[in-house]
Amino acid sequence: MSNKEFFEKLRDAIVNQDIDGCVDATKKALEAGIAPYDAINDGLAVGMKIIGDKFEAAEIYLPHIMISAKAMNAAMEILSPLLEADKTIEGVGTAITYVQEGDIHDIGHRLVTTMLGANGFQIIDLGVDVPNETIIEEIVKNKGKKIILVGSALMTTSMLGQRDTIKLLEEEGLRDSVKIMLGGAPVSDAWIKEIGADGTAENAADAVRVALKIMK
Ligand code: HCB
């Protein structure tokens, strides 16, 4: 089977809400020598994008998305430890990662967090639905360290909270003590510029590249 066919199998397992099939396709892709990150980015994530488009077009409903997300998470259980085993760089800084308040979409957040951890960042993962006050508390706890905030928002509503995070950091006199990279499907370069963050990224590999650049 070609790499393209393995990626299609992964994609289709997500699109067809086939949890067992997704686990099976993941194991087979690894056995065939496909890199864990490629399996995610070129297979599974493509499937999630299709699911999102189908939901938007009212071709599928929330329960379908939930099963696709379960399939994605089942595959990530297998792939994440392999990404974590890939440590090459050390001591680049501390990444405080989180999903904005009101938002529980964690697939992209987990992916970005894992990839940053695999590339030398010390990770403090605050999880999902994180209030701005919690982010501030964590920065204060870690003052003196080289910190990058890595926030995700998947909804236009939660994305607005990113502006409040930066406002609060400014009010608390903490803005200059952290770098800020924000992402998630609705986040654009224009938004990053408007709210005064330091960068954004399209996907997890790009997030590593941007984070390393910002932290230099
Ligand atoms: Co959800 N949902 N959902 N959802 N959902 C979206 C996000 C919509 C866009 C779907 C749509 O309408 N087209 C939509 C938001 C609309 C909007 O605001 N514009 C939506 C909605 C409305 C909702 C609910 C409100 C539905 C409801 O209840 N009526 C509800 C919200 C619950 C809440 O958060 N309070 C809801 C629930 C769900 C679940 C639970 C069924 C499930 C989440 C499961 C989970 O995460 N554990 C879900 C899912 C899966 C999606 C879609 C289909 C996929 C999201 C996803 O996982 N993508 C999504 C459609 C879409 O996004 N097009 C849909 C795959 C990952 C790999 O991509 O973009 O998250 P990513 O991350 C990338 C990238 O952005 C970047 O790298 C990542 C890795 O490549 N990145 C960063 C991410 N974070 C970064 C941070 C950085 O600093 C840098 C880069």
What residue ranges define each of the domains in the chain, with the CATH number in brackets? 1-89 (1.10.1240.10), 91-216 (3.40.50.280)
Mean pLDDT score, 46-52: 92
3-class SS string, the chain = CCHHHHHHHHHHHHHCCCHHHHHHHHHHHHHCCCCHHHHHHHHHHHHHHHHHHHHHCCCCCHHHHHHHHHHHHHHHHHHHHHHHCCCCCCCCEEEEEEEECCCCCCHHHHHHHHHHHHCCEEEEECCCCECHHHHHHHHHHCCCCCEEEEEECCCHHHHHHHHHHHHHHHHCCCHHHEEEEEECCCCCHHHHHHHCCCECCCCHHHHHHHHHHHHC
Ligand 1-lining residues (CB < 6 angstroms):
45, 48, 51-52, 55-56, 62, 65-66, 69, 102-109, 111-112, 150, 152, 154-157, 181-186, 200-201, 203-204, 207
pLDDT at residue 119 in the model? 84
Q: How confident is the model at residue 98 (pLDDT cuts 50, 70, 90)?
A: very high
Pocket test of ligand 1: the residue of 51, 101, 154 to mutate, having most ligand atoms within 8 Å of its CB, is: 154
Average pLDDT over residues 40-57: 92
pLDDT at 114: 87
pLDDT for 30 beyond 70: yes
pLDDT grade for 90, boundaries at 50, 70 and 90 = low
For residue 18, pLDDT beyond 60: yes
Q: State the average pLDDT over residues 31-42.
A: 93
Q: Output the pTM of the full model.
A: 0.91
Residue 118's pLDDT is what? 81
pLDDT at position 81: 87
- Confidence band for 88, pLDDT divided at 50, 70 and 90: low
Whether the per-residue pLDDT at 80 is higher than 90: the answer is no
The confidence band for 91, taking pLDDT boundaries of 50, 70 and 90, is confident
